[in-house]
């Protein structure tokens, strides 16, 4: 897995990258009450705002970590936003992106570097 300074995680699965927010981010947000996801088939550019997440404390944008196309979204977290708090690294992923250039993953931290960032 790779991690961004914006507290997103990325995991390569075949030819797609699964994207979600970290446990640290979900704890900082508090109870998540609303998630808006992009449409499947949307082309995105790295660092473009693609999702909105709202909690009892704040609203935040989720950025596209890579250039590419959104190929799948997780409707379960739209129906039950609390899943983001319950399992942020597992079942509560946000979207899957087919990257235009997988080497963009090299720009992100590994788990050790991310843990140092949040400590």
For residue range 4-36, list pLDDT tens digits in order. 999 999 999 999 999 999 999 999 999 999 999
CA distance 19 to 12: 9
Least Cα distance to 31 among 86, 72, 79 occurs for 86
Output the pLDDT for position 64.
96
- Convert the pLDDT of each residue in 58-113 to its tens digit: 899 999 999 999 999 999 999 999 999 999 999 999 999 999 999 999 999 999 99
Q: Pull the structure tokens for residue 80.
A: 């039950």
Query: pTM for the complete prediction?
Result: 0.94
Helix (H, G, I), strand (E, B) or coil at 29: helix
d(CA 7, CA 4): 5
Q: In whole numbers, what is the pLDDT of the chain averaged over residues?
A: 96
Q: Which CATH number fits domain 2-118: 3.90.100.10, 3.30.420.40, 2.40.50.100, 3.30.2350.10?
A: 2.40.50.100
């Amino acid at each position: 897995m790779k991690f961004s300074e914006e507290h997103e995680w990325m995991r390569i699965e075949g030819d797609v990258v699964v994207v979600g927010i970290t446990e640290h981010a979900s704890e900082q947000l508090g109870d998540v009450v609303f998630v808006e996801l992009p449409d499947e088939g949307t082309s995105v550019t790295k660092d473009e705002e693609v999702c909105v997440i709202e909690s009892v404390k704040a609203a935040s944008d989720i950025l596209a970590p890579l250039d590419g196309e959104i190929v799948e979204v997780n409707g379960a977290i739209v129906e039950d936003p609390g899943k983001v708090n319950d399992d942020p690294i597992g079942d509560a992923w946000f979207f899957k992106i087919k990257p235009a250039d997988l080497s963009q993953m090299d720009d992100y931290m590994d788990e050790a570097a991310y843990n140092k960032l949040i400590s």
